[in-house]
Structure 1
């Protein structure tokens, strides 16, 4: 590291951290040297991947080590202000993901504190940084568009956690949080182009009440005046076509900036006559679209998709921010603390106008059934299947504890019959403490990683820890949920049941299937060697209320109504209702002959993928474009990507493409469910019409409510 190199740390090792790490890696005279996260494993994973020598589990420790010149704040929004204050007070610069803070007063105080301490503060509103937005601003400055009469910004993009969880995310805890999380994407355009928004009015649609009583409106329309410009901001989170765009009508031209795709089109009145004019206008629009599309495709190919619009926006923001250090360049207004403060001030004004209409959280607790005297711990209880399981256990009289890193998304009951226990799955002490006084444990948690090392650390090792804690405390039974993805389901002539071995070459299967199989191996070893009372359940493709529309076990999705089938889509799929899975899990815990056994919880064969999409179309009045796609095409594309990553990008630890893995995604093998029915007395739904009603028609997959009147 040279003397002029800027040493950078990341505070937070979640999803966005890898995007920032990639951007730092590409930026000259900047080096990632530290990663900090409450989860040491998560921090270590990012640090190892990018060669950062220091790992910390507290901000104070990272600051005290004096190894960084700047820290990227990538924590949940409610932690931004406190973290930024500590960083700035320590004489370290900060680059903060939006929102800057949760009040404009905090933003201004942090800006002043940075000036007093002689450090830099940048705020990343990514979509202000794309090349297409530069072209829009150039056209405004050159007066081609002219004074803007109307301005519209749209964030119309599905937010699946509103319907299928996890519901303990910060942005879902209060009705206002959605606007702080997503609103900066839209309000930052207003702050950059016009300065402020006045005469604000707010309308809502599509309310949804989450478990725990918090009601969110999935569609917001904010209108107001910015100077002489009429402004409309549309925020819609229901399933539907992706529309993340800015549209302007000026006195000289129309302009559209699509920030999801980094494209820009300007439409001006044609100079030709009424015959040639319309043609030349359309040719101009087509030319602009082709040019933008070709340029983006070439850039994404060269960067192996690392500089797709989202990644490119972060890259350009990081480049511009560090140019202030390395080139003594002025701070780009779009990254400035001042713009961040203006953005939050407009959100505050919008919430002031909206609050009379927002619904206060209200718990609607059903009457508790009689206690059965047993207590169950559910790990992974805030997810789709976990919530259904907790409800079944509660109805059967169990005391239920849900182990969660966060608040539990409002699952707890005031009477204590369902309680939330906070803890870290990587802490033996936390696990044993959570299991004290518990009769049984359900382990439904799963990891989502992009490397085998990540799965080993955050899934396999965690699962073994849970099994060892069950033994140490003396839990009567552990029910673990594996996955049918670990089977080789590539042959239509070979039925699968519990006696079927997993794929013989799991190392070439997708990481999730491989990891879940490895978890089972570790638990069975504990069963043999230390008498762990174990039951394994492997649910099929689970559908129902609270589940995702865009389920990747069924198809490869492009948006809410467009997907590619795994194959021709004519074979019967292993669908199962979420409520039936929950019932099966409880039976696996209760039945005396279940210990030492495994059960595939799969419904009776009823629907193919095509049948499923036909049912969705019928129930929701929209055509799902589900295109049959030969399996070999996925395999060929996978080989191509592997070659580029392995030999061009020099990435290590990649899984070699497997044709059988892709065929298995089509679930070509028929599944048998007789064992669960015979041994456990499990009775999944047998009536196809009822199955469709419960799993599809009544599941509210698109998030659109019946009452769409504006409030």
Structure 2
């Protein structure tokens, strides 16, 4: 392939995959990355050896020569960004969806044709290894003529589970189709060709605490010569992404999550023996592919072969196909497939007469004054805090980075919104000046490494403390976590004044950073009289939270909880509303500056009891699997050994962290009850109802 000078437009997580895939492609040279968040662009550039990082496309075009641009920005920016690049004479490779509407796609097609450049969309799952194997089997006619296709797309959506509704895909019903459903649609299109007509049947909308989403659909699809149907459930508990192809002489089942293709065809034997022979053959195909997948994963993990997970291979294959076509037949790169899929989503919404639910109209924060500024107030604890403050007649300013699709609570006349990030010091200084009380609920734990975690959590706390001192804040209420303490000694009494773990080097990055953030704020209290009080919640459960909490155990999959120990000791559980009550009480309590309190409920269930109650409510066969400390130590040592052999060397994992994860210590919360007048729920029945029944299926 001729050398191509490539620019990545957007430095989000997907940029890493594009950069990694391009590294394997001869002749591909990434020369620039563009993102308004220049520091993020620089980090990606440093990681992948990209020479130039720029804040804008205009700046990039002045400084470097580029042939092709990969557009990796949010979908609402696809059209304007692609237009700027096409006008500059660059070939454009867009992440899906092509644009937000078929009209936008058509405009891009016309412009690309007029400028004589290629335009294509990364529908990478058409290059999934299982898709390629299935296409080969059908194309070779091994099962006869294809007659019908059925597809299930039942997939969890992390943002749904976490109630992170600020993502673009939740802005209107069509966006969920554009973000998620184009994946199986592109695969069906690959099998049966362009869809001539279809029927769209939506299931009733689901409510997520005041946010209504169209998550479930049934589509009947008519192709040129083969028909299909597609069942969609977004936010499903059990993931199932499969296609079954029915042919004249057998059937093909494609499982994309397990990277498996199983062909079933009749044998030459009589019926009774045929059932046995085909059963053995199906088992052999399953076992053979399972072994191959495990071997490929293991070899790639040990760096004995190149990365070979299906998602990466699909990305690599799609990018290779684009550059191959750009070399041989650029006229075929006209964006037709991307437009077809976006057009389908447009038509589906019109056919089903789906209307965008009315969103919550929020107020921008003025000069105030407000009774409290809640930083990170749109999360599950934040919603509980804001709700209790509003119920008490207080005026609240809520600072959050993403304020779209908020529940009705945030439209209350006593609530105002500050759209800003805590990393923006200037915005933080202005926000802190709005209220005498600042409540910091910002999580800050999304960084990929220790440096990022330290900067976000510890650096963020230090910056907030400095802003509060400058503004003369009367009280800063900072939410820490009991994870900053060592809790691995069975029966040891833990009070609010317990010091952070003395062996932080043996703890995970998040626990370590939260502990150091607490220490930084307390140091500012001692040296500069920062009026801070620190609340450390236990395992927070209840409305708005995921019931599959890591404080109970590790969930490889929802039905199976791998315990941190035998699961018999009481856990320091607490409801989100109980945490909110403690926060509100800390606003007015006297003589609490410089103190730390553990927020743990009086109802303390074991991990086994927790699993039993959750299984009862969900009506699912959930299991708790006890694990010894020794067994976990062996597993962690094995993981460490693999990382060591592959060059990812870190400290040897002892059992210190593992023992603390089990939470066998005992909490004494008499201090918070006395100082704040905090009274958690004492009745087990009421606690269970509020902790678990909210997760039932209505």
Residue 469 of structure 1 is aligned with which of 467, 470, 473? 467
Residue 205 of structure 2 is aligned with which of 201, 204, 207? 207
2:666 partner SS:
coil
Contact 1:388 1:579 in 2 (8 A): yes
- Write out per-residue CA displacement over residues 554-584 of structure 1, whole angstroms, 9 at most, x where no aligned residue: 2222333233222221111111111111111
Within 5 A, what are the aligned runs for 1:453-468? 453-468=451-466
Tell me the residue number matched to 1:317.
318
| In the alignment, structure 1 residue 670 sits paired with structure 2 residue 671 | no
Residue 268 of structure 1 is aligned with which of 249, 257, 265? 265
**Structure 2: gaps spanning 5 or more residues:** 363-367
Contact 2:603 2:681 in 1 (8 A): no
| In the alignment, structure 1 residue 385 sits paired with structure 2 residue 386 | no
2:173 partner SS:
coil
1:500 partner SS:
coil
Q: Give the CA deviation at 1:408.
A: 4.1
| In the alignment, structure 1 residue 429 sits paired with structure 2 residue 429 | no
1:618 partner SS:
helix
Tell me the residue number matched to 1:369.
none
Residue 686 of structure 1 is aligned with which of 664, 682, 686? 682
Contact 1:242 1:559 in 2 (8 A): no
Contact 1:463 1:519 in 2 (8 A): yes
Residue 514 of structure 1 is aligned with which of 497, 507, 512? 512
Q: Give the CA deviation at 1:536.
A: 1.0
Q: Give the CA deviation at 1:156.
A: 0.7
Please say which of residues 532-541 and 31-40 is displaced more in the overlay: 31-40
Q: Give the CA deviation at 1:182.
A: 0.7
**Structure 1: gaps spanning 5 or more residues:** 366-371, 707-711
Normalised by the length of structure 1, the TM-score is: 0.90
Within 5 A, what are the aligned runs for 1:302-381? 302-304=299-301, 307-324=308-325, 328-330=327-329, 337-356=335-354, 358=355, 360-361=357-358, 374-381=370-377
The size of the alignment, in residue pairs, is 687
1:235 partner SS:
strand
CA 1:499–1:214: 2 relative to 1, 3 Å: closer
Tell me the residue number matched to 1:443.
440
CA distance in 2, matches of 1:689, 1:174: 39
Q: Give the CA deviation at 1:53.
A: 4.0
1:646 partner SS:
helix
CA distance in 1, matches of 2:257, 2:331: 22
CA 1:684–1:414: 2 relative to 1, 3 Å: closer
CA 1:560–1:681: 2 relative to 1, 3 Å: same
Within 5 A, what are the aligned runs for 1:169-248? 169-205=167-203, 207-210=205-208, 213-248=210-245
CA distance in 1, matches of 2:29, 2:641: 28
CA distance in 2, matches of 1:656, 1:6: 43
CA distance in 2, matches of 1:460, 1:466: 10
CA 1:96–1:522: 2 relative to 1, 3 Å: farther
CA 1:132–1:373: 2 relative to 1, 3 Å: closer
Q: Give the CA deviation at 1:226.
A: 1.8
Contact 2:477 2:532 in 1 (8 A): yes
Q: Give the CA deviation at 1:277.
A: 1.1
Tell me the residue number matched to 2:405.
409
Q: Give the CA deviation at 1:544.
A: 0.8
Tell me the residue number matched to 1:659.
655
2:166 partner SS:
coil
CA 1:239–1:194: 2 relative to 1, 3 Å: closer
1:448 partner SS:
coil
CA distance in 1, matches of 2:266, 2:11: 49
CA distance in 1, matches of 2:457, 2:634: 30
CA distance in 1, matches of 2:412, 2:609: 44
CA 1:664–1:92: 2 relative to 1, 3 Å: farther
Contact 2:22 2:29 in 1 (8 A): yes
CA 1:679–1:509: 2 relative to 1, 3 Å: same
CA distance in 1, matches of 2:547, 2:478: 25
CA distance in 1, matches of 2:293, 2:308: 9
* Structure with more relative contact order (C-alpha pairs < 8 Å, separation 6 or more): 1
CA distance in 1, matches of 2:65, 2:232: 41
1:110 partner SS:
helix
Q: Give the CA deviation at 1:429.
A: 1.1
Tell me the residue number matched to 1:524.
522
Tell me the residue number matched to 2:365.
none
Contact 1:215 1:359 in 2 (8 A): no
1:693 partner SS:
helix
- Write out per-residue CA displacement over residues 37-93 of structure 1, whole angstroms, 9 at most, x where no aligned residue: 343443344334334343334444344432654333332222222222222222333
Tell me the residue number matched to 2:132.
134
CA 1:125–1:641: 2 relative to 1, 3 Å: farther
Contact 1:175 1:214 in 2 (8 A): no
Contact 1:221 1:233 in 2 (8 A): yes
Q: Give the CA deviation at 1:265.
A: 0.8
CA 1:698–1:318: 2 relative to 1, 3 Å: same
| In the alignment, structure 1 residue 580 sits paired with structure 2 residue 578 | yes
CA 1:359–1:209: 2 relative to 1, 3 Å: farther
CA distance in 1, matches of 2:544, 2:314: 33
Q: Give the CA deviation at 1:699.
A: 3.1
CA distance in 2, matches of 1:183, 1:487: 44
Within 5 A, what are the aligned runs for 1:468-487? 468-487=466-485
Contact 2:547 2:614 in 1 (8 A): no
CA 1:427–1:624: 2 relative to 1, 3 Å: same
CA 1:424–1:698: 2 relative to 1, 3 Å: closer
1:450 partner SS:
coil
2:296 partner SS:
helix
Q: Give the CA deviation at 1:645.
A: 2.9
Tell me the residue number matched to 2:450.
452
- Write out per-residue CA displacement over residues 277-300 of structure 1, whole angstroms, 9 at most, x where no aligned residue: 112111211121122112211222
Q: Give the CA deviation at 1:402.
A: 1.8
Q: Give the CA deviation at 1:163.
A: 4.6
Q: Give the CA deviation at 1:495.
A: 2.6
